[in-house]
């Protein structure tokens, strides 16, 4: 009869401190079940090692963070130096915000863009908007799949002009849907045909529809989160052209409601009892560039009936998809017409302050209109190096006579 090997407490010597320690039966079983060797250190030394490991890991993490901060800091310093070099060379007067004065409010126009809201702690960047869209929503899928851009959220308006029609408007995809909806069957109905086409071009109406709804909902949630009011000169009866959808120029700086033109709509305003539309879109003409990429392959069907159906389907799809352009293009000239009286009243303006506006080309038509009406002295703010570069090319394109720049 063989002896059954029984677990018994083992006495061992700690590798670190040299003291005797007992490995209990329970510990032996536990280590064995986990497939580990028996411990070589006493309980205290094991704890000590664990703690040392934790501290070492924390140190590594801290070091990584420091490195990243340093990198960011260096990048920032580099940008600051570049701004300094550039501004030194410029034959343009520069002023600090606190020295700015608005001596004749009634002759002043203040133009604000999203940078104004950001300066007051409003989380109003497109990146903030992006955070409000679920990770797995069909909307996100449509945006990230069909808009042909690598920087979707850094310039959302421009990105909207990059719908890649060729992904869904091609004969293979259309053929698939026609087949799916049984349109090739002799007893198919017209409704099947239209259902197939609509399904194929779903991104063209899903993107604008969802974007509008979600954007409006998000804009409603924006709040000021900073106590700073850097533009202390803003008081009195100045006119405002606001590119923002929020009313913070009124609530923070007392601009009078009837002096403010919300060129792209405002969340608080109503139009015939309905909330005013919030306008968001890309510059005209981008769609043409996208359509040029659509190559409808010469069709493979020999069967004249199938070929006929395919041709009508492509034609219908292309016609209906054009709605996307209608919905996503910012039609500045129509918008200017709508606000005609505001622009017409600008003839008395002698000073123009531009605060937190990106001066993107999509908005040039508004500025051209202002230049037509006025012969003013411009004060234009910038924040980053890119802003400053855009500012300079803007001033050049608009042929501004007299400008002063300030950093915000």
Q: Which residues bind Zn ion (CB under 5 A)?
A: 14, 16-17, 42, 45
Cβ atoms of residues 145 and 163 within 8 Å: no
**Pick 16 or 68: Cβ nearer Zn ion:** 16
SS (H, E, C) 222-273: CCCCCCCCCCCCCCCCCEEEECCCCCHHHHHHCCCHHHEEECCCCCCCEECC
Min CB(51)–Zn ion separation in Å: 14
What tokens does 388 get? Answer: 């400053």
**Pick 14 or 336: Cβ nearer Zn ion:** 14
Spatial separation of the C-alpha atoms in residues 373 and 282, rounded to whole Å? 25
**Pick 42 or 222: Cβ nearer Zn ion:** 42
**Pick 38 or 167: Cβ nearer Zn ion:** 38
Give strand pairing partners of 225.
Answer: none
Buried b (16+ CB within 10 A) or exposed e, 153-178: bebbbbbbbbbbbbebbbbebbbebb
Spatial separation of the C-alpha atoms in residues 34 and 25, rounded to whole Å? 14
Min CB(36)–Zn ion separation in Å: 18
Min CB(12)–Zn ion separation in Å: 10
Min CB(60)–Zn ion separation in Å: 26
Min CB(19)–Zn ion separation in Å: 5
**Pick 15 or 235: Cβ nearer Zn ion:** 15
Min CB(26)–Zn ion separation in Å: 19
**Pick 16 or 292: Cβ nearer Zn ion:** 16
Q: How far is CA 375 from CA 94, 145, 312, 342, 349, in A?
A: 20, 46, 55, 16, 8
**Pick 17 or 90: Cβ nearer Zn ion:** 17
> What is the Cα Rg of the chain in Å?
32
Q: How far is CA 267 from CA 156, 221, 323, 362, in A?
A: 19, 10, 25, 22
SS (H, E, C) 204-234: HHHHHHHHHHHHHHHHHCCCCCCCCCCCCCC
Cβ atoms of residues 204 and 324 within 8 Å: yes
Min CB(8)–Zn ion separation in Å: 21
Min CB(18)–Zn ion separation in Å: 7
**Pick 40 or 377: Cβ nearer Zn ion:** 40
């Amino acid at each position: 009869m063989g002896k059954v090997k029984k677990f018994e407490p083992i006495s061992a010597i700690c590798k670190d401190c040299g003291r005797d320690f007992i490995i209990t039966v329970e510990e032996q079983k536990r280590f064995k079940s986990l497939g580990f060797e028996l411990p070589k250190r006493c309980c205290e030394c094991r704890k000590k090692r664990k703690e040392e490991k934790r501290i070492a890991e924390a140190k590594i993490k801290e070091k990584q963070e420091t490195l990243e901060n340093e990198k960011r800091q260096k990048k920032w310093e580099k940008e600051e130096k570049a701004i300094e070099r550039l501004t030194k060379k410029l034959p343009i007067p520069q002023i600090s915000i606190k020295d700015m004065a608005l001596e004749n409010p009634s002759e002043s126009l203040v133009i604000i863009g999203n940078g104004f809201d950001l300066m007051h702690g409003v989380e109003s960047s497109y990146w903030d908007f992006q955070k409000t869209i679920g990770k797995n929503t069909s909307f996100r899928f449509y945006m990230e799949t069909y808009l042909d851009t690598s920087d979707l959220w850094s310039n959302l308006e421009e990105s909207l002009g990059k719908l890649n029609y060729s992904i869904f408007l091609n004969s293979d995809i259309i053929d698939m849907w026609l087949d799916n909806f049984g349109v090739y069957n002799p007893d198919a109905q017209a409704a099947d045909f239209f259902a197939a086409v609509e399904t194929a071009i779903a991104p063209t109406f899903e993107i604008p529809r969802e974007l509008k709804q979600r954007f409006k909902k998000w804009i409603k949630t924006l709040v000021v989160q900073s106590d700073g009011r850097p533009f202390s000169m803003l008081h009195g009866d100045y006119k405002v052209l606001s590119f923002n959808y929020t009313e913070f120029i009124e609530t923070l700086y007392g601009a009078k409601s009837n002096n403010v033109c919300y060129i792209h709509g405002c969340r608080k305003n109503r139009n015939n009892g309905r909330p005013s539309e919030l306008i968001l879109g890309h510059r005209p003409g981008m769609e043409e560039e996208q359509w040029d990429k659509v190559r409808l392959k010469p069709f493979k069907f020999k069967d004249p009936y199938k070929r006929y159906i395919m041709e009508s389907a492509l034609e219908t799809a292309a016609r209906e998809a054009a709605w996307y352009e209608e919905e996503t293009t910012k039609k500045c000239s129509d918008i200017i017409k709508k606000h005609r009286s505001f622009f017409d009243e600008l003839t008395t303006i002698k000073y123009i302050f531009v605060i937190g506006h990106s001066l993107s080309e999509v908005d040039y038509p508004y500025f051209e209109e202002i230049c037509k009406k006025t012969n003013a002295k411009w004060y234009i703010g910038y924040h980053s190096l890119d802003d400053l570069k855009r500012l300079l090319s803007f001033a050049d394109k608009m042929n501004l006579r007299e400008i002063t720049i300030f950093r915000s």
